[in-house]
């Protein structure tokens, strides 16, 4: 009996237990209806019974048919879905590649096969079939995010599922070209300034000025036409430039040779004229684009002129040119204007704080003492902020001498003391630097960042305080002490002048930065030195302040012993990996190398701290070491620059330096 029941197969729709219960309940209710009807009218019960049996038979067959139709529909749908998946894998415009742990190809759909040509794929190593794709997959297989790659002549969006070894590649070359074309048709606005136009033309006759103007305008117009740009002269010393980004990139590839062309051709006529250009792009608002281009021009001028600054919105500036030393100005008009502006700021100030860069040199300290005297001449209390830790020997000697002068000694304070004394009406003057990251009193700068004055002779970099109250940056000057010395001529008469110690400190600052008046020295430098001498600057005391101690001298010579030529006319010295060197010693070693025949540029790499390695770079002017140091995050002058790099060994920094030199020379 059990075997018989086991062979009985219920219809598919009755295999559901819930449905069987429903059928049983409905059958029971129908049976009750028949029984009740039999007691009322027997013939009615018979009719009802026949009707219910017929209804049940019809319902049974209807449900059976519905179940069969549903089963066939689902089977057909599943087949179609499976077939669609297979067709999609084979025919859809997305490349699919299945590989194993050894990067051997196990399967690739026909769409991807076309990118390999007739090459046999199955079972082959991906590195053998296509090394470039193998490198891309190996480098990105740990990241499942969608990324854009370049494979051969095509652009792809690639996703990798490492867990199952599948790569999906969607060809977006067409859309990438459209995007590139759209990006290339964006507008770029530039400001072109003739750096020394006024100084050159003031001694010319009208005909010579006209000839010079014609030459410059024609040269600029031909240059613009060559690269499909628009240039319009809007003032005697200014042009406006409008270009598409595509044209701008072509000019960048050309390294803005227009700078060299105009400088060299005008020099042959004994009227060396230089250009500075600021260009901006990537901004939808044209008015903001014009403002940014002017800001870039200001940056180019602040770095000494004869160069180009190009900046895309949200990106770092790119620099071109800057191959020549900035030309010395012929008038003292700006020095007078700055002195007067500084006097107006003093009137709005309760006290003045002057601070140099971290680990100050004689120029920073001498400039600080000079500003203190100028503030006193205008009736304001001024404090020179000096961090007494890690001072070099020459600055220590100066501080010892300062300690013997009670008046000056009381005005020299630590960064902590200055921070405690500063108020909302105080004025902060940054001397010999313009980067907040290297200031000797960062907390004081943060407190007085809205009331800051900058006086510096280094070329301006991208890092720069926001909205300083006054900026006096003159890269042509030998030192900050020279700039400040010139301002004494425009101070109130009858006020106490420089004393001997202050004048000597400022003369020592000029001496250090000019390497005993041998580098970056102009007529203004000697005028400043003459003024300081007339105010009691002691040459013998200066010499004593700048003496080297025996240990430093031996260490410097040890560095020079490691000299090697890394490029034509370029020398490199490297310190020991495990030894810490004073940065001043490294700088002195770099200066000494320039005194050797056949060396136009020198680099000295030493470990400064346990975590940082420094580079001191010097040149005679033919090599722009500032550009090299900016490639490594530093800065400075065309002929005097430096940087510090954290987290690398001396050997790694050397390799980075060689790459930066190659990049700067391209």
In this prediction, residue 88 carries a pLDDT of 61
Q: Cα–Cα distance between 185 and 123 in angstroms, integer?
A: 46
DSSP sequence for 117-152: TT---TT-BHHHH-HHHHHHHHHHTT--S-EEEEET
In this prediction, residue 113 carries a pLDDT of 81
Burial 261-288 (b: 16+ CB within 10 A, else e): ebbeebeeeebbbbbbbbbbbbbeeeee
Task: State which CATH number among 3.10.310.30, 3.40.50.2000, 3.40.30.10, 1.10.10.10 fits the domain covering 554-665.
Answer: 3.10.310.30
What would be the CATH architecture of the domain defined by 333-545?
Alpha-Beta Complex (3.90)
In this prediction, residue 8 carries a pLDDT of 47
* Topology given in CATH for the domain delimited by 92-177: Beta-Lactamase (3.30.450)
Torsion of CA 407, 409, 410, 411, to 10 degrees: 90
Q: With beta carbons less than 8 A apart as the criterion, state whether 444 and 422 touch.
A: yes
User: Cβ-count burial of 358 within 10 angstroms (0-12 exposed, 13-18 middle, 19+ buried)?
Assistant: middle
In three-state secondary structure terms, 367 is: helix
Q: Cα–Cα distance between 511 and 507 in angstroms, integer?
A: 6
Paired residues of 168 in beta bridges: 96, 159
In terms of DSSP H, where are the helices of 170-232?
Answer: 173-184, 197-201, 206-226
In this prediction, residue 331 carries a pLDDT of 54
In this prediction, residue 325 carries a pLDDT of 57
In three-state secondary structure terms, 493 is: coil
Average pLDDT by consecutive 10-residue portion of the chain (666 residues)? 50 61 72 72 72 73 74 72 65 80 82 80 82 84 82 87 86 87 91 88 86 93 94 93 94 91 86 90 90 88 82 86 58 78 89 92 93 92 90 88 90 93 93 90 92 88 82 86 91 82 93 83 88 89 84 87 90 91 86 89 91 90 84 80 89 91 77
In this prediction, residue 4 carries a pLDDT of 47
In this prediction, residue 79 carries a pLDDT of 67
Task: State which CATH number among 3.30.70.270, 1.20.120.450, 1.10.10.10, 3.50.50.60 fits the domain covering 185-321.
Answer: 3.30.70.270
In this prediction, residue 17 carries a pLDDT of 66
pTM (two decimals): 0.61
Q: Cα–Cα distance between 319 and 297 in angstroms, integer?
A: 11
In this prediction, residue 91 carries a pLDDT of 61
- For residue range 575-628, what is the model confidence (pLDDT) as tens digits? 999 888 888 888 889 988 988 888 999 999 999 888 899 999 998 877 888 888
The phi and psi torsions of 194 (rounded to 5 degrees) equal -85, 105
Q: With beta carbons less than 8 A apart as the criterion, state whether 248 and 188 touch.
A: yes
Cα-trace Rg, the chain: 41
In this prediction, residue 5 carries a pLDDT of 46
Kindly give the pairing relationship between strand 601-607 and strand 570-574.
parallel
- For residue range 80-103, what is the model confidence (pLDDT) as tens digits? 667 666 666 566 678 888 888 888
Query: CB atoms < 10 A from the CB of 354, how many?
Result: 28
The phi and psi torsions of 308 (rounded to 5 degrees) equal -125, 140
For the chain, which residues make up each domain, given as ranges?
11-88, 92-177, 185-321, 333-545, 554-665
């Amino acid at each position: 009996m059990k075997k018989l029941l086991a062979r009985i197969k219920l219809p598919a729709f009755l295999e559901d237990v819930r449905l069987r219960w429903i059928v049983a309940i409905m059958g029971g209710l129908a049976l009750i209806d028949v029984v009740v009807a039999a007691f009322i009218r027997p013939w009615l019960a018979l009719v009802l019974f026949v009707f219910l049996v017929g209804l049940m038979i019809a319902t049974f067959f209807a449900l059976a048919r519905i179940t069969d139709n549903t089963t066939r529909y689902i089977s057909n749908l599943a087949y179609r879905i499976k077939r669609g998946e297979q067709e999609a894998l084979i025919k859809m415009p997305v490349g699919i590649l299945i590989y194993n742990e050894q990067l051997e190809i196990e399967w690739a759909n026909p769409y991807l096969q076309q990118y390999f040509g007739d090459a046999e794929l199955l079972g082959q190593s991906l590195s053998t079939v296509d090394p470039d794709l193998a490198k891309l997959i190996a480098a990105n297989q740990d990241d499942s995010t969608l990324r854009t790659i370049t494979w051969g002549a095509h652009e792809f969006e690639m996703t990798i599922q490492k867990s199952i070894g599948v790569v999906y590649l969607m060809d977006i070359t067409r859309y990438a070209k459209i995007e590139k074309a759209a990006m290339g048709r964006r507008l770029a606005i530039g400001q072109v300034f003739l750096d020394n136009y006024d100084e050159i033309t003031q001694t010319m006759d009208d005909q010579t000025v006209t000839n010079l103007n014609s030459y410059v305008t024609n040269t600029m117009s031909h240059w613009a036409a060559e690269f499909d740009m628009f240039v319009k002269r809007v003032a005697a010393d200014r042009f406006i430039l409008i270009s598409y980004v595509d044209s701008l990139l072509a000019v960048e590839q050309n390294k803005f040779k227009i700078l060299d062309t105009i400088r060299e051709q005008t020099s042959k006529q004994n009227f060396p004229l230089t250009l500075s250009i600021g260009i901006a792009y990537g901004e939808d608002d044209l008015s903001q684009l014009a403002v940014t281009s002017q800001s870039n021009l200001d940056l180019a001028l602040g770095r000494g002129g004869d160069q180009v600054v190009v900046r895309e919105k949200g990106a770092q500036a790119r620099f071109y040119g800057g191959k020549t030393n900035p030309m010395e100005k012929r008038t003292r008009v700006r020095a007078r204007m700055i002195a007067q502006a500084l006097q107006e700021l003093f009137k709005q100030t309760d006290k003045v704080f002057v601070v140099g860069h971290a680990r100050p040199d004689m120029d920073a300290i001498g400039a600080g003492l000079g500003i203190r005297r100028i503030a006193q001449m205008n009736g304001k209390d001024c404090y020179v902020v000096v961090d007494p830790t890690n001072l070099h020997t020459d600055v220590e000697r100066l501080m010892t001498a300062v300690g013997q002068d009670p008046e000056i000694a009381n005005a020299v304070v630590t960064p902590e003391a200055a921070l405690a004394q500063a108020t909302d009406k105080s004025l902060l003057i940054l001397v010999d630097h313009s980067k907040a990251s290297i200031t000797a009193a960062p907390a004081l700068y943060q407190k007085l960042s809205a009331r800051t004055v900058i006086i510096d002779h280094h070329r301006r970099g991208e890092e720069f305080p926001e909205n300083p109250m006054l900026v006096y940056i003159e890269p042509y000057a030998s030192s900050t002490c020279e700039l400040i010395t010139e301002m004494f001529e425009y101070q109130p008469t009858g006020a106490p002048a420089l004393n001997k110690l202050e004048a000597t400190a400022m003369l020592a600052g000029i001496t250090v930065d000019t390497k005993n008046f041998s580098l970056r020295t102009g007529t203004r430098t000697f005028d400043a030195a003459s003024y300081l001498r007339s105010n009691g600057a002691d040459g013998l005391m200066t010499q004593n302040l700048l003496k080297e101690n025996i240990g430093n001298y031996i260490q410097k010579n040890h560095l020079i012993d490691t000299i090697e030529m890394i490029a034509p006319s370029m020398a490199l010295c490297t310190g020991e990996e495990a030894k810490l060197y004073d940065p001043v010693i490294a700088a002195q070693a770099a200066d000494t190398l320039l005194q050797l025949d056949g060396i136009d540029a020198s680099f000295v790499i030493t470990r400064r701290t346990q975590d940082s390695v420094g580079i001191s770079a010097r040149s005679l002017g033919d090599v722009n070491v500032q550009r090299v140091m900016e490639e490594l995050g530093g800065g400075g002058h065309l002929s005097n620059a430096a940087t510090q790099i954290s987290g690398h060994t001396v050997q790694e920094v050397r390799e980075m330096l060689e790459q930066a030199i190659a990049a700067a020379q391209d």
